[in-house]
Amino acid sequence: MDSIVVTGGVRLKGQIPIAGAKNSCLALMPATLLTEEPLVLMNAPRLSDIDAMGLLLRSLGVHVQASEDGKVITMSSNGPVSTMAEYDIVRKMRASNLVLGPLLAREGRATVSLPGGCAIGARPMDVHVAALEALGARIELKEGYLHATAPTGLKGAKVMLRIASVGATENVLMAATLAKGTTVIENAACEPEIVDLAECLVAMGARIAGAGTSTITIEGASRLGGASHTVIADRIELGTYMMAPAICGGEVECLGGRIELVRTVAERLAEAGVSVEETGRGIRVARGNDRIRPINVRTEPYPGFPTDLQAQMMALLCIADGESRLEETIFENRFMHAPELMRMGADIDVRGGTATVTGVKRLKGAPVMATDLRASVSLILAGLGAEDETVVNRVYHLDRGYEHVEEKLGSVGAKIERIQN
Ligand code: UD1
């Protein structure tokens, strides 16, 4: 398994282009199942999670083709499709469950493996199931698979989500576009990726109002057509690269980043003494010689501080001048990076969902282990700000969510190298 070796202590300077959003693209790709016409996604990120979704869709019978540079994905399924999403694919990537709603809407049935737990928590599917049942689906759990049927089709209904789950909102939104009548999703997730999905569905002919708010209304259509859609910028990649100059010092302009995607992140960074400003082309982040100020951060659904940037923020707060508190409210077990950061000299006390981080002047390089996607990158960032060399082992998670991380950080001066083991 590959490792990433970073040598800390270099100030960063330059520009980093931000890719299309992984989490948007993973929801947009299954939308191809809602039409027999081609769906073309532009600005797709080049990531192993996107390849995995491509594989899953191919296994269902969708024709999936990526351009040579991987940025344009063309999909079409004008023939019969399989309705079975196998465990072997789903277990590797939870977002595979996003084929459930579209398959049910198209074929009236779907058999989708339960994803199982992952490093950051149990991540159940009950909200997805209850929402699709509200549209008239019958769903049974047998041998680890959700067996869903809607023999007489899905019918629009009022759907109240128990929690504002991103994936459940996406699943029911897609399913409702082909249901009979009107669906109203209450307590819907408001993430920008939901808005991106809704815009693509509207371009395909769906009638949707309220995406980006907690109430989404969908008027079902009898069919949807093809579309070409440009994937929005990845706010998590953006936030990650905004943390890099904050940790290392220097100045980085994140090209293509828009402040409304990361407003809370920008506010927290400014509170910590980091300069964040919009340029015509993106967002410039800079830090001089002053120490980072300690701050308190609580993860929340959008527009709050994203859980997917909590590990990176922890890496920054490890070198703050005082005590910070990080509260994780979305996932129950998302501090696995803390013990790894402590191997680098960080002072972190985790109690339940709260981590108290007492800043030290500098971290020290060490061999560390990546436990999940965002933890991997937080260890790289920590290493870039640390003394000497840090070896981040087991980085396969990284390629799921960050394209060309070594090139992007290397191009702004970071000393970073991938070792293929
Ligand atoms: C999406 C993102 C992920 C991000 C997360 C929260 C994608 C592909 N992934 O994941 O990067 O960290 O949003 O912003 O877009 N839950 C239940 N029952 C359910 C569904 C969810 O209890 O049926 C719980 C989860 O365990 C978790 C919380 O709800 O604690 C939020 O999960 P959810 O919003 O569904 O996250 P995902 O869509 O899986």
- At 383-393, the pLDDT tens digits run 999 999 999 99
Active site residues: 118
Residues of the chain under the 70 pLDDT cut: 116-122
Please count the residues of the chain.
421
pLDDT given for residue 90 in this prediction: 86
The atom number, within ligand 1, closest to the CA of 125 reads 23
The atom number, within ligand 1, closest to the CA of 98 reads 8
The atom number, within ligand 1, closest to the CA of 22 reads 8
Distance 124 CA to ligand 1 centre (A): 9
Distance 27 CA to ligand 1 centre (A): 13
Distance 166 CA to ligand 1 centre (A): 6
280 exposed, middle or buried (CB, 10 Å; 0-12, 13-18, 19+)?
A: exposed
pLDDT (tens digit, 9 = 90+) per residue, 171-184? 999 999 999 999 99
Instruction: Specify the residue with its C-alpha closest to ligand 1, atom 28.
Output: 330
pLDDT, the chain, mean: 95
Distance 379 CA to ligand 1 centre (A): 23
Instruction: Specify the residue with its C-alpha closest to ligand 1, atom 25.
Output: 123
Q: Is the dihedral of CA 203, 216, 151, 82 positive or negative?
A: positive
* 380 vs 370: CA distance, rounded Å: 9
Calculate what percentage of the chain has a pLDDT beyond 90. 89
* 56 vs 59: CA distance, rounded Å: 5
Ligand 1 site residues, Cβ closer than 6 angstroms:
23, 26, 94-95, 121, 123-128, 163, 165-168, 189, 193, 307-308, 330-331
Instruction: Specify the residue with its C-alpha closest to ligand 1, atom 38.
Output: 167
Q: Specify the pairing of strand 39-42 against strand 63-66.
A: unpaired
pLDDT given for residue 119 in this prediction: 58
pLDDT given for residue 351 in this prediction: 96
Q: Is the dihedral of CA 50, 419, 392, 409 positive or negative?
A: negative
pLDDT given for residue 93 in this prediction: 87
User: Residue 77 carries which side chain, given as an amino acid letter?
Assistant: S
Given a contact cutoff of 8 angstroms between Cβ atoms, the answer to whether 86 and 132 are in contact is no
pLDDT (tens digit, 9 = 90+) per residue, 23-64? 999 999 999 999 999 999 999 999 999 999 999 999 999 999
* 382 vs 390: CA distance, rounded Å: 9
pTM to 2 decimals?
0.97
Distance 7 CA to ligand 1 centre (A): 34
Mutate to test the pocket of ligand 1, among 139, 330, 372, 376 (most ligand atoms within 8 A of CB): 330
Instruction: Specify the residue with its C-alpha closest to ligand 1, atom 11.
Output: 308
pLDDT given for residue 116 in this prediction: 62
The atom number, within ligand 1, closest to the CA of 129 reads 23
Mutate to test the pocket of ligand 1, among 50, 97, 163 (most ligand atoms within 8 A of CB): 163
pLDDT given for residue 396 in this prediction: 82
pLDDT given for residue 121 in this prediction: 58
